[in-house]
Chain A
Amino acid sequence: MINIAIVGVGETSYSQRSGMSPQALALHAIQRAVDDAGLDVSVIDGIVPISNSIPAEDVISNFNLPHVGLSATLRIGGASAVGSLGLAATALQTHRCRYVVIYIGKNGSSGERMVQRVSQLPGYQFRRQLEEPFGWGTPLQWYAMMCRRHMELFGTTKEHLARVSLTMRKHAQNNSHAQMYGKPMTREDYYASPMISDPYQLFDCCLETDGGAAIIVTSEERARDLRKRPVVVSGWGVSPPQSPDDLTNRPDWNSIGLTKAAPDAYSMAGIGPHDISALMVYDCFTFEVIQQLEEAGFCGRGEGGPFVASGAIEMDGQLPVNPHGGLLSEGHMTGLNHLIEAVRQLRGECTSRQLPRLQFIGVTGWGNLGDGSMAILRRDHRG
């Protein structure tokens, strides 16, 4: 089996109002990723649009790509970016493709909002018939309910949620690309933000974002001849939760897709959680960080709140999380920005927020009603 590596990353600026089409955002990001790798765009022969991004055909037409061996999209929402590495690996290992682009371009803030995408999610008939009539119909409300149960069972507190939000905002102050760069937040600001659906206030929620992001994936062997130091995908896992089309009757709410995806990723990489130097967590909302830290094995179930409160996820903590500020403070690029940050950290390109002594970086994804994914990235040994 061949190893795969990420060889190029690119993104547009992230904003609340891009003034550009999703097509333009995606195409610009792809061009930057290709340039970053030192490739000509015509070598791209595998196309993986993330979730609700513009279709592969738009990319093929715009770049006039001569040959495309595979185009496919995983429909697992925020778990798709990391999960797509698995798809790319399959395409590369069967030699169906040589260079795969994974991308997104969207006006998530000024265009179609999350609430309009719910109808494309699994089990929508249950949402539409049994849940929306009671005013329960957005991911924010679903996850607020999961958070509340965790609080009742384990003693997780609003202060724990605040700590996640404050940490992400603090990290964003070292990232001029982040939407919250130059906008520090105090604990008072957090608690003063509008209550949306208890326990979630505005600052428990990620930033709906306009922008584009892309990465280029190829075999580790080809990667060594390219411009940048390759970042190898050591392991990956993708898993649905139990009853992935219905949260209400899921037997155990503590168990999520990541509960299975993480062990798959560790086992493929031949490492465990203690080997991970830093983690990019899919921080769609504050509690989801706490739950994923637990389910990916960085602390015991129910211990995520105290783990966060100990300062463990800070830049100088035992497990720095999202140095770029994450979805909460950099922007919501459906997790592709987490992969990009992991690559730049492993290359040593992160200047003022560069983490020292990195070996393995974990990246998680979370989508729909708890679909999970995890990738483990490392530097190329010979790089």
Chain B
Amino acid sequence: MNRTILPDINHPDFAFFWTKCRDEVLTVPICQQCGRKRWPPRPICSACHSPDYTWIEIASRGRIYSWTVTHRNMVPHSIQPTPYVIAVVEIDEPRDTLRLLGGLWETPPEIVHLNMLVEPVFVPVNDVLTLPFWRPVQRRHVIACESPVR
């Protein structure tokens, strides 16, 4: 029996987020009055209480704020087999604290550490849903950026 719980991609507060995940882009609501980005999506801005917002792309880079390694399947299950790593990822954003909860994709638990740099990996689950997982920032990418002649 499959006990994975998938999001409702038509939920009015979250639909835009899931649509953009299919394009491999992470977005959050941004307040049209005070300009604060917020997560999780809320109908009003907690800072200025404005109901007006739009969606904005955020940095596709974050750091591990905390994590747990789940060894025994509980309800709900992950689409990953046990043991799997779940982490809170703090997005590299200059002003607003934005943390996303996600799974670490194909990441050995023993290499995970506080503040580890991670990037999203978009995993299609079916035709309409893509889940954003995370993985350590690939070393070769970093080297490629730092020393293009390599």
Contact = CB atoms under 8 A, between A and B. Distances in A.
Contact of B40 (A126, A133, A134): A126
The 5 closest A-B pairs by CB, nearest first: A135-B78, A149-B66, A198-B69, A144-B68, A152-B114
Interface string B67-95: 11111111111111001101010000000
A136 interface: yes
A253 B99 CA distance: 12
A152 B116 CA distance: 12
Interface of B: 4-8, 11, 13-14, 39-40, 65-80, 83-84, 86, 88, 97-103, 109, 113-114, 131, 133
Size category of the A interface is: 35 or more
Interface stretch (A156-164, A244-252, A297-305, A341-349): A244-252
Nearest to A247: B88
Contact of A198 (B7, B74, B109): B109
Contacts of A226: none
23 contacts: A123-B40, A128-B7, A129-B13, A130-B14, A133-B5, A133-B7, A133-B131, A134-B101, A134-B102, A135-B70, A135-B78, A140-B74, A145-B88, A148-B66, A149-B114, A152-B66, A194-B71, A195-B72, A196-B70, A197-B72, A246-B40, A249-B40, A251-B97
A136 B86 contact: yes
B47 to A, nearest CB: 12
Contact of A145 (B7, B66, B71, B131): B66
A196 B66 contact: no
Contacts of A174: none
A249 B5 contact: no
B5 A137 contact: yes
A133 B79 CA distance: 8
A130 B102 CA distance: 8
Given A144-B68, A145-B88, A146-B66, A135 B80 contact: yes
A248 B101 contact: yes
A135 to B, nearest CB: 3
